[in-house]
Amino acid sequence: MDTIGTPALWVGFLAFVLAMLMVDLGIFQRRPHAVGWREAIAWSAVWVGLALLFDLGIYVWFGPERALEFLTGYLIEKALSLDNLFVFIVIFGYFGIPSTQQHRVLFWGILGALAMRAAAIVGGGALLDAFHWTIYVFGGLLVLTGARLWHTRNSDGHKGTARLVRGLARVLPVARQPHGQRFVAREGSRVVPTPLFLALISVEVSDLVFAVDSIPAIFAITRDPFIVFTSNIFAILGLRALYFLLAGGLSRVRYLSAGLAAVLVFVGAKMLVSEWVAVPVGVSLAVIALILGTAVFASMARPAAAGRNPGVAAVPEEMARLSSGPT
């Protein structure tokens, strides 16, 4: 498999990720607090800046083609992760997770997501290498997912998430008293999970579902496992800051789901015709940027009222009524 990822690069990148996670855990989570917009802006700028700096390094050492592959993969991951933010809103609303504890859930949830994404990337790459025809399976999956997202863009697209969190609350015993930052607690003779733990499990499951879309989408751009992995990880590491920065305003981007649907259909079609038509990475980046830019511009020109954008699935009314937590 052709890759720029030497053992030294893999070790260095993983060491960087672990160092950043330790800084987050040891410094910024030492005092639980609600993440304000200024802090969210600062951290979003840090993660985007680090990703662009990393891409600059790829450009310098490995050339513009590889740098474009990373940038395109990163943009796809960022775009697809926006819809995931609304799943977080549903989860936190149902389990009644206060803003001071949401950062802790997202930290551990994203840590688990890193491991799951790594396994999905290794597995997906192995399938493509061993069975070339799986590229058509991945492409068809993306086209179908894009068509489904387009079809449901004007309806509540996250009813499945609502059912998931309700099911978890019913199946698993849950602590009836608040226990702060703890994921498990002792009540009487039993050790039971807290709502914080159920929210964490829901976040992990939702990310696994979204990985089914995002991993094949990046394989449409590049087969280099190092670029696929690093672009995925940079997008995921910046997801928490993006949540606190945008979750309150994304409901106004009424055409976001339409844009994401078009992106999925485009990259899926690119995989389906890859045997006969080679679409340059620069063209893919331009098309994806144009689609997303058009969706944002159209939304700004015709904004939706806050909380009334079914296209990106604002919190369902049923979840709002249950926001005091499971009973």
Question: Model confidence over 2-55: pLDDT tens digits?
Answer: 789 899 999 999 999 888 888 776 665 666 666 777 777 888 899 999 999 999
pLDDT tens digits for range 146-181: 888 787 665 555 555 556 666 666 666 666 666 667
**Residue 39: enclosing H or E segment and its boundaries?**
helix 37-62
Tokens of 266: 């485009």
- Integer CA distances (angstroms), 129 to 2, 126, 138, 215, 223, in order: 11, 5, 13, 15, 9
Tell me the average pLDDT of the chain: 78
Residue 317, both tokens: 């009314």
For residue 144, give the amino acid letter: L
Distance (Å, whole) CA 252 – CA 311: 10
Q: 79-83, 296-300, 314-318: which range is least confident on average?
A: 314-318
pLDDT confidence of 320, banded at 50, 70, 90?
Answer: very low
CA distance 197 to 204: 11
**Is residue 81 over pLDDT 60?**
yes
pLDDT value at position 311? 39
Beta-carbon contacts of residue 289 (< 8 Å; ≥ 6 apart) = 75
For the chain, strand residue ranges (E) read 184-187, 190-193
**Rounded distance, CA 212 to CA 219, Å?**
12
What was the pLDDT predicted at 159? 56
Q: What is the Cα–Cα distance from 34 to 237, expressed in whole angstroms?
A: 18
Task: Indicate the pLDDT class of residue 234, thresholds 50, 70 and 90.
Answer: very high
What does DSSP assign to residue 310?
G
Cβ contact 264:139 at 8 Å: no
User: In whole angstroms, what separates CA 101 from the centre of its chain?
Assistant: 19
CA distance 266 to 284: 9
Which pTM value belongs to this model?
0.78
